[in-house]
Amino acid sequence: MGLTTGFDPMAGMPEEGSDLEWFLDAKLGIFIHWGIYSVNGVSESWSFFNGHIPYDEYMAQLSGFTAEKFDPYAWAELFERAGARYVVLTAKHHDGVALFETALSDLSVVRKTPAARDLVAEFCAASRWKNLKVGLYFSHLDWSHPDYSPVSPGCTAAAMEDGKVFFRWTEGPYHPSWRNFIEFHRGQIRELCHNYAPDLLWFDGDWTPGPNWWDFETLRDDIDLWCPGVVVNSRIGKSGDYATPEQGVPIVSPRGPWEFCVTMNDSWGYQGKDRNYKSLRQIVRLFAECIGMGGNVLLGIGPMADGTIPAEQIERLEGLGQWMKRHAEAIYGTRAGLPHGHFNGPTTLNPSGDVLYLFFFDRPAEQRNSLSVKGIRNAVRSVSVVGSRQSLGFRTIGGASWAGIPGVLWIDLPPSALDRNATVLRVELEGPLDLFRGEGGAVTTN
Least separation in angstroms between residue 105's CB and ligand GLC is 20
Per-residue x/- mask for ligand GLC, residues 178 to 207, rule CB under 6 A?
Answer: --------------------------x---
Phi and psi torsions of 191, nearest 5°: -60, -45
Measured from the CB atom, the residue of 203 and 323 that comes closer to ligand GLC is 203
Complex with ligand GLC: residue 221 or 246, whichever CB lies closer: 246
Q: How far is the CB of 130 from ligand GLC (least distance, A)?
A: 23
Shortest approach of ligand GLC to residue 204 CB, angstroms?
Answer: 5
- Closest to ligand GLC by CB, 143 vs 343, is 143
Minimal distance, residue 222 CB to ligand GLC, in Å = 23
Tell me whether residue 204 or residue 241 sits nearer to ligand GLC (CB atom): 204
Contact 336, 279 (CB under 8 A): no
Should residue 290 be labelled a site residue for ligand GLC when binding is judged by CB under 6 A?
Answer: no
142 counts as binding ligand GLC under rule CB under 6 A? no
Q: Is 118 a residue that touches ligand GLC (CB under 6 A)?
A: no
List, in sequence order, every residue forming a beta bridge with 360; answer none if it has no partner. Answer: 423
What is the Cα Rg of the chain in Å?
25
Between residues 276 and 372, which has the closer beta carbon with respect to ligand GLC?
276
Q: Does 299 bind ligand GLC (CB under 6 A)?
A: no
Nearest distance from C-beta of residue 260 to ligand GLC, angstroms: 10
Q: How far is the CB of 31 from ligand GLC (least distance, A)?
A: 7
252-271: which residues touch ligand GLC (CB under 6 A)? Answer: 261, 268
- The CB-of-355 to ligand GLC minimum distance in angstroms stands at 33
Q: Does 138 bind ligand GLC (CB under 6 A)?
A: no
Among 37, 38, 44, 214, binds ligand GLC (CB under 6 A): 44
Closest CB to ligand GLC among residues 50, 390: 50
Query: Which residues contact ligand GLC (rule: CB under 6 A)?
Result: 33, 44, 204, 246, 261, 268
